[in-house]
Amino acid sequence: MGAFSPAEIPAKLNIAEYFLDRPAKEHPDRAAILGEPAPITYGELAELTNRAGNALRRVGCQPGDRVLIVLPDSAEFVAAFFGAAKIGAIAVPVNSFVGGGDFAYYLTDSGARVAVVHADTLREFAAGAASARVEYVFVVGEAGTGAHHSCAPPKVINWTAALQAESNELAGCATLASDAAFFLYTSGSGGRPKAAVHEHKDMLVTSRGFAQGVLGLRAEDRTFSVSKLFFAYGLGNGMYFPFSVGAGTILHPERPRAERVIEVIRQYRPTAFFAVPTLYAALLREADAGNRADFSSVRLAVSAGEALPVEIFERFQRVFGVEILDGIGSTEMLHMFIANRPGRARAGTCGTEVPGYEARIVDEAGGAMERAAIGNLLVKSGSAMRGYWNQPELTARAKFGEWMVTGDKFIRDLDGFYHYCGRADDMMKVAGMWVSPGEVENALLGHADVAEAAVVGWSRADGLTRPVAFVVLRDGCAGGAELEQALREHVRARLEHYKCPQEIHFRAELPKTATGKIQRFKLRTGIIELLE
């Protein structure tokens, strides 16, 4: 199934009506959310969404107003998101695990007047709200009405009571496909998050191109996304992808821990599983320790966020009998634009273009490059963001005509498969030649004692750049000079000598974003601290 052509996208479109009202009318008694904590049907979820939209309207929410959503993965998250979209407002889901300073930033940057917040997060949220202009805060959870003193001056409203007082009928706003529908903040792997503005049509493009065109999702599927709904990757996997075909989703509101993920898989038996490389590595470590996940129900396993190391791909297939479909997407493009196909996954690559997407590799001046040469990846599709909210200069730098500048370095091989080399600002030029951190990291991961690895470039006083590695060891392994030397020899036996790390530092953990991306800029800062 191909992607939507521009002619197939209706001029008037509202994502709440397409992704929720449509399946609710076709099969109202089918489970939309299987867990957690409780199942809910499409009909029930559509009614909850209508009540949420009416409650937002009652506090004066108008088309174009931003609604900040600070909720764990839940039916309430879905209702708040689609409730805002249905009345023409703009849903702004953000990371619910952050602190008060981050909430202050999200509120100030988005200009949201209304927020929907979970009671467990209210104390942290209140600290940020004190310096923002938010007027109304709907609080989900039993502590809703009891915490208003710490959240003044906004008016605190109990979510459950407010929705009970509203009608379960709601006429949607006559939004255009090109109207702004939601903001998604970048994960902050390189610094301060930016809000990518997405339109109603964008979800149709990604659903048709990746969910249906690549994965072939169907109504009987049960999706389980370890990545949360407040990120672009999780929002598709855990919400609108399954809803696009009338399938069920398994929501997991807690922080992703491998042992709990294993329990959820055993209980709900997903058919489509979505995670990041660090979680796949954690599942392998659990299996080594005797806590083996049951992947017998899973027909699709997808990875994104960081390039999937060959070692993890091969070990996972040996241990669980499931191939992992690696791909690459971005918040700016909403979801995957390059991906491997079921049954044809090629280890060490991100696959080929998703239907409806074009990609090309260019040099620094934007000129086309020969295959098998490292260059900058550009991508084009109807799901591309309108721009960064209130940041025209950054928006201009992110675009090259009709193309989006991904900021990634890639190689396209002779078979048309794309190989991720690293972020443009993470690539190293050593001895006059490009070195991909991923290539060195994969070599380190091939050593039996290494659980995780990250490599960055560091220029010393002589101006020459050298690779520096940060390594997390498997349980029971101890670092030291002897192992450091053994790891160097291990890498040197597999890669050119100039790619071998000059220094290896052992760490208990690597700094990551909530999506599992390694924050290499923090590791570079760590090198400075080590040298001081």
- Look up residue 506 and give its two tokens: 């052992």
| Whole-angstrom distance, CA of residue 243 vs CA of residue 23 | 7
Amino acid at 177: A
What pLDDT shows up at residue 145? 44
| Closest listed residue to residue 167, CA positions, set 45, 54, 89 | 54
The dihedral through the CA atoms of 237, 180, 255, 56 has a sign that is: negative
Report d(CA 503, CA 231) in Å as an integer: 34
CA angle centred on 509, ends 517 and 192, rounded to 5°: 40
Q: How far is CA 86 from CA 19, 21, 22, 238, 294, in A?
A: 11, 10, 13, 19, 39
List Cα–Cα distances, 351 to 42, 144, 337, in angstroms.
34, 47, 10
> Distance between CA atoms of 131 and 325, rounded to whole angstroms?
44
Helix (H) or strand (E) holding 520: helix 520-531
CA distances (Å), 521 to each of 163, 177, 388, 470, in order?
44, 37, 22, 13
Cα–Cα distance, 206 to 86 (Å, whole number): 20
Give CA–CA dist 406/118, Å, rounded: 34
Strand spans (E) along 38-192: 40-41, 66-70, 90-93, 114-118, 136-140, 155-158, 180-185
pLDDT at 6: 60
Tell me phi and psi for residue 419, to 5 degrees: -115, 120
Q: In whole angstroms, what is the distance from residue 469 CA to residue 509 CA?
A: 13
Q: Closest Cα to residue 69, out of 80, 85, 55, 57? A: 80
Q: Parallel, antiparallel, or unpaired: how do β-strands 336-339 and 352-353 relate? A: antiparallel
- Indicate the SS3 state at residue 407: strand
Query: What CA–CA distance (Å, rounded) separates 199 from 205?
Result: 11
Question: Cα(504)–Cα(166) distance, rounded to whole angstroms?
Answer: 60
Integer Cα distance of 24 and 43 in angstroms: 5
Distances (CA, A) of 46 to 21, 26, 32, 86, 532: 6, 12, 10, 11, 58
SS (H, E, C) 358-385: EEEEECCCCCECCCCCCEEEEEECCCCC
pLDDT at residue 33, rounded to an integer: 98
Respond yes or no on whether the N-terminal peptide bond of residue 37 is cis (omega within 30° of 0).
yes
CB pairs under 8 A, 24+ apart, for 329-332? 329/210, 329/232, 329/233, 329/304, 330/232, 330/404, 330/406, 331/184, 331/185, 331/186, 331/187, 331/196, 331/231, 331/232, 331/385, 332/186, 332/196, 332/384, 332/385, 332/398, 332/404, 332/406
Using CB atoms within 10 A of its CB, is residue 313 exposed (0-12), middle (13-18) or buried (19+)?
buried
The encoded tokens of residue 298 equal 């899973």
The structural domains of the chain, with segments of one domain joined by +, span 16-175, 195-423, 428-531
pLDDT score at 146: 42
Q: Which residues of the chain have pLDDT under 50?
A: 1, 144-150, 189-190, 531-532
- Residue 57: C-alpha distances to residues 53, 80, 136 (Å): 6, 12, 12
CATH of domain 195-423: 3.40.50.12780
- Angle in degrees, 0-180, between the axes of helices 75-86 and 42-58, rounded to the nearest 10: 60
Establish whether domains 16-175 and 428-531 are of one fold.
no
Alpha helices per DSSP H over 179-300: 200-206, 232-235, 241-245, 258-268, 277-288
Structure tokens belonging to residue 175: 């939004």
Pairwise CA distance, residues 363 & 410, whole Å: 11
* CATH among 3.40.309.10, 3.40.50.300, 3.40.50.1820, 3.40.50.980 for 16-175: 3.40.50.980
Q: Please tell us whether the domain made up of 428-531 is placed in CATH 3.30.300.30.
A: yes
Query: Are 499 and 439 spatial neighbours (Cβ–Cβ below 8 Å)?
Result: yes
- Using DSSP's 3-state secondary structure scheme, residue 127 falls into helix
Contacts of 421 (CB under 8 A, 6+ apart): 374, 408, 409, 410, 411, 427, 434, 436, 438, 439
Q: Which pair of structure tokens corresponds to residue 300?
A: 């699709």
Return d(Cα 440, Cα 444) in angstroms, integer.
6
